[in-house]
Amino acid sequence: MSSPQPIYVRKKKRRRRAGLRWCYWIPALAIAAVGAWLLVRAPRRSGPQPLAGYISSAETLQQEYGRFYGKRLTNAELPQQFRQAAGLMLQAQYAAAAAILETVAREASLPVVYNDLGVLYAGIGDRARTVNAFREALARDLTYQPVRLNLNRLRGFTADSANPVTQEIEPNNSLLLANVAALEKPMEAAIGQDDDVDTFRFAAPPAPRDILLLEISDKEGTLAPVLKFYDGEMRFLDWGAAARQPGDMNLRFSPEPNAGLYVQVRGYGASSGPYVLRVRALRLFDSFEPNDDILSTRRIAVNQKIEANIMDARDTDYYSFFSPVGGAVTIELQNRSATLIPALSTFTPDLRAAGFGPDVRTPGAGFEYKMEVLAGQVYPIQIWSLGNTAGEYSLIVKQ
C-alpha cells in the first residue's frame, strides 16, 4: 500500500493596513507645509471690507462730470471729498461718508455720487434715503448700470420703488416733497380742489445744452394749469406760465446741462382735474456742440463747408481753422433760415480779439469776410446772433 500524499497548507499572508504609501506622503506633507506657510506669511485683511456696489474711483467722478456738464472738473476739492468719503466708507463710518457726498452732490449731481449715497444709506439701513438716492441717479441716466446692479442686489430692501416716479405720489405740495421724475417719461397726476399743488423735480439732460418742451395734457378738459419753476437751489425762475381756460399747455425752456429743476403745477382759480405731465428734450443743438466758449472751439477744415445752427439767443458757436499757407482767407456764412441775424468775431492765434465781420441787420442774410492769416497758425472765430435771433446756417473758410 502506497504512502499517502502530503497535504500542503498555504499560509495566509498578512495584509497591510490601508493607507497611503510613503511615496504619496511626501508630496502631501509638502503641500500642507506650503499652505501653512502661506497662512502665516500672507497679509491678513483686517477691518471692514468695501461696501458692495460702492464706486471709489475719483476718475469716474471726473469722467462723469465732463459728460454731464460738458466741461472739465476744475474744483479740486470735489475729488478730494469724494476720496475722503471712500476712506470713511472703508472704516464703516457710513453716515459721515454720506454727509460728505451730500455736499459733493450740490456741485456734482452725478449718477456715481448718488449711486454711492444709495449704497451708504443701504448700509445704514435707511430705506427711504436709499430709494431717493438711486432714484436721483436714474433720473439722470435710466440705464445707469451700477445702480441697476445695486437694485438687483438689494431688491429685497428697495423693492421696485427706486425708479423715477411716473404716477404722482402725495403729498407733493412743496419743494421739499417733490416727486423725482425723469425726462421723456409721462407723469400721471391730478390737481384736486382746495388749493392743491403738485411739485416735481427733474434733471436737465447732459451736455450739450438743449431746449426742453414741457407738455401738459388736460385729460378731462377741466384744468387750467399754472406753472412755476425753481432751480436746483429752490430759487424762483421766471419761466412760468398760466392758462385762464382749461386745456393743454406747451412751454419751452432751456436750463444748463444736468441742472436740477423743480416744476410746480396748480389750477387757475378753482379749476382742477387729472392731467399728464411730460418733459422732453428736443435735441435742437448741432453736431459741433458744446462749443460755447473759446476754450472749446471745434476745428474745421479749410475749404470744407459745415452746417450748424444758433439754437437760441444764449447760443454761440466757436470754431478754429489751421492755415497751411499765409495770405488772405474768406469766411463765408450762408443763412439757411429766415430768422437768424448772424454776426462774426475773429481772434488771433493767441486768443486775443482781432475784429468783427460785416454789420448784418437783415434776418435771413449772410455775409463774406476776408482776413489775413499767417502760415502754420490756428485761428479761432465766433458765430453769434443779433437781436435774440436764432436759425440754421452754413459756414466755409476759403483759402
CA torsion sign, 203 to 207 to 209 to 213?
A: negative
Residue where one domain finishes, among candidates 229, 247, 281? 281
User: How far is CA 158 from each of CA 44, 126, 153, rounded to the nearest angstrom?
Assistant: 34, 10, 9
Q: How far is 379 from 248, CA to CA, in rounded Å?
A: 49
Q: Is residue 190 part of a domain?
A: yes
Average pLDDT per block of 10 residues along the chain, 399 residues long:
42 45 43 36 57 97 97 96 98 98 97 98 96 96 96 89 92 97 97 95 97 98 98 96 97 97 97 98 97 95 97 97 97 98 98 96 97 98 97 97
> Does residue 233 lie in a domain region?
yes
Identify the pLDDT of residue 33. Answer: 40
Q: Which residues pair with 112 in a beta bridge?
A: none
Examine the domain organization and report whether 141 and 204 are in the same domain.
Answer: no
Residue 298 belongs to a domain: yes
- Looking at the fold, whether 302 and 264 belong to one and the same domain comes out as no
Residue 378 belongs to a domain: yes
- Same-domain pairing of 103 and 180: no
* Structural domain that includes position 146: 58-158
Q: What is the pLDDT of residue 18?
A: 44
Same domain for 367 and 311, yes or no, is: yes
Distance, CA of 145 to CA of 153 (rounded, Å): 12
Q: Does a structural domain hold residue 388?
A: yes
- Tell whether 247 is covered by a domain: yes
For 238-276, write each residue's pLDDT tens digit: 999 999 999 999 999 999 999 999 999 999 999 999 999
The order of strands in the sheet holding 298-299 is: 298-299, 317-323, 377-385, 342-347, 353-356
pLDDT value of position 220 = 98
The reply to whether 147 and 212 lie within a common domain is no
The whole-angstrom separation of Cα 200 and Cα 182 is 10
Strand order in the sheet with 212-218: 187-191, 273-281, 212-218, 249-253
Mean pLDDT, the chain, integer? 90
Q: Which residue has the cell 458765430?
A: 383
Do 309 and 384 lie in one domain? The reply is yes
In a domain, 308, yes or no: yes
Domain boundary pick from 281, 310, 338: 281
Considering its fold, how many domains does the chain have in total?
3
Q: How many CA atoms lie within 13 A of 68 on its CB side?
A: 24
* CATH of residue 189: 2.60.120.380
Same domain? For 256 and 181 the reply is: yes
Domain boundary residue among 158, 188, 206?
A: 158
Residues 146, 184 within the same domain = no
Domain annotation covers residue 331: yes
Q: Give yes or no for a contact between 382 and 345, defined as CB atoms under 8 angstroms apart.
A: yes
Q: Tell whether 64 and 148 lie within a shared domain.
A: yes
Intra-chain end-to-end CA distance of the chain, in Å: 139
Please tell me whether residues 298 and 391 are part of one structural domain.
Answer: yes
CATH of the domain at 98: 1.25.40.10
Clarify whether residues 324 and 272 are in a common domain. no
- Encode 216-247: b = buried (16+ Cβ within 10 Å), e = exposed: bbbeeeebbbbbbbbebeeeeeebeeebeebe
- The answer on 132 and 183 residing in a single domain is no
User: 42 is written with which cell numbers?
Assistant: 500672507
